[in-house]
Structure formats: structure tokens, C-alpha cells
């Protein structure tokens, strides 16, 4: 199944969202949070993101979702260095995209379909 990595400036946000998405998707989808800087500060660590990608990879690829500015830049920089096409950054809202990607991954869909589900979550209306 396609793995999912959630990158945030906040450790708590990344971990909490990973827990939520995992509860929706079930135990077979690898969902990893990568958030916060050194010593619990706000920020994004390229090493933490790369480690999360490595843990999430099961052979079917990884979809990465990120929250804001520098977290997106961090992921883009990592993907430039290791551009194999199996790790894709979604242009998607973090929460809605994570849940959509997790649900679709749990149905054993390929990388492109999971990525598309995350990105289509942008149009989800709440009212």
C-alpha cells in the first residue's frame, strides 16, 4: 500500500493527524508524521522528513503532504535529491488530504490514485 507522510512545523500536529488518518485507514497503511524542529521547537527537519519517508515506504510509493512554506520547501529539496518518482508531494490541504489519501491507500490503489485523492480533497465543502 502507498505510504503517507505528514509534514508540519508542529510535532504535535503531525503526530495527531497521523493518528487520526491511521484510525480511518486501518493498520495496513503506513502513515508517518514528521514535525517540529530540534528540542520540540517549531520548524521542519529534513532528516526527520527523510526518516519518515523511509519508514512509510513499502514498495508502492509514498505521498507526502505538508502544511506551510518552509515545510514544503524542505520536502521539495529532498525530492530533488532523490527524484525516483516513487515519492510525491501532494498539492493538497493537510487534514482533508491526509484523510482522503489514507482511505484510498487502504483500498490498495496505486500511487497516482492516492495522490489524486489527496489533491481532490481541496474541493471538499463543509457546508
Q: For residue range 19-67, list pLDDT tens digits in order.
A: 999 999 999 999 999 999 877 789 999 999 999 999 999 999 999 999 9
Q: What percent of the chain has pLDDT over 90?
A: 85
- Known active-site residue 77: no
Q: What local confidence, expressed as pLDDT, does residue 84 receive?
A: 78
Residue whose grid cell is 514498495: 59
pTM: 0.95
Q: What local confidence, expressed as pLDDT, does residue 37 receive?
A: 84
Residue 52 CA to residue 72 CA, distance in Å, equals 15
91 to each of 21, 27, 67, how far by Cα in Å?
18, 25, 10
Out of 4, 5, 6, 9, pick the active-site residue. Answer: 9
Q: Name the phi and psi angles at 5, rounded to 5.
A: -120, 130
Identify the CATH number of the domain defined by range 3-123: 3.40.50.510
Domain ranges of the chain: 3-123
Q: What local confidence, expressed as pLDDT, does residue 83 receive?
A: 64
Amino acid at each position: 500500500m502507498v505510504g503517507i507522510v505528514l509534514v508540519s512545523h508542529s510535532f504535535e500536529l503531525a503526530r495527531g493527524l497521523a493518528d487520526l488518518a491511521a484510525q480511518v485507514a486501518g493498520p495496513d497503511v503506513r502513515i508517518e508524521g514528521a514535525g517540529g524542529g530540534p528540542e520540540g521547537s517549531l520548524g521542519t527537519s529534513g532528516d526527520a522528513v527523510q526518516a519518515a519517508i523511509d519508514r512509510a515506504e513499502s514498495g508502492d510509493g509514498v505521498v507526502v503532504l505538508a502544511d506551510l512554506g518552509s515545510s514544503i520547501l524542505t520536502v521539495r529539496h529532498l525530492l530533488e535529491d532523490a527524484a525516483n518518482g516513487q515519492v510525491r508531494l501532494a498539492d493538497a490541504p493537510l487534514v482533508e488530504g491526509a484523510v482522503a489519501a489514507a482511505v484510498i491507500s487502504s483500498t490498495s490503489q496505486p500511487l497516482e490514485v492516492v495522490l489524486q485523492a489527496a489533491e481532490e480533497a481541496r474541493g471538499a465543502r463543509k457546508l
